């Protein structure tokens, strides 16, 4: 993964990595909201044709405190799309 500036990039609370992707989004799959995906736009500044990249998300809930954790199934795809948006001067 590309190096990021720790002074402006938040770190992951779970693993400490400096590969956090800001402005990601969630979408519900299917008409009944069955399943969740997370995504990143490769061209976030565009009015149309933002070129989104989405992957499935896995969600778990603590039965004690109710904390919710979500993980992208293929985070490398999101990171590549985010890095592409940065290389084009968009953020």
H, E, C per residue of 29-78: CCCCCCCEEEEEECCCCCCCCCCEEEEEEEEEECCCCCCEEEEECCHHHH
**The two structure tokens encoding residue 80:** 């590549």
Q: Are 78 and 40 within 8 A, CB to CB?
A: yes
Identify the domain containing residue 16 by its residue range.
Answer: 1-91
Whole-prediction pTM value?
A: 0.70
Residue 90: its pLDDT value, please?
46
- Cα 49 to chain centroid distance, Å, stands at 18
In tens digits, what is the pLDDT along the chain, a chain of 91 residues? 555 555 666 778 778 888 878 778 888 877 766 788 999 999 888 888 899 999 999 888 877 887 778 889 999 999 999 999 888 764 4
Distance CA 2, CA 39 (A): 19
Split into its structural domains, the chain has a count of 1
């Amino acid at each position: 993964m590309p190096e990021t500036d720790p002074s402006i990039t938040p770190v992951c609370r779970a693993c400490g990595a400096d590969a956090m992707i800001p402005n990601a989004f969630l979408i519900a799959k299917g008409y009944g909201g069955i399943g969740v995906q997370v995504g990143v736009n490769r061209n976030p500044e565009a009015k149309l044709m933002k070129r989104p990249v989405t992957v499935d998300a896995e969600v778990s809930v603590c039965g004690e405190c109710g904390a919710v954790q979500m993980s992208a199934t293929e985070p490398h795809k999101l990171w590549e799309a985010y890095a592409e948006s940065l290389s084009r001067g968009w953020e």
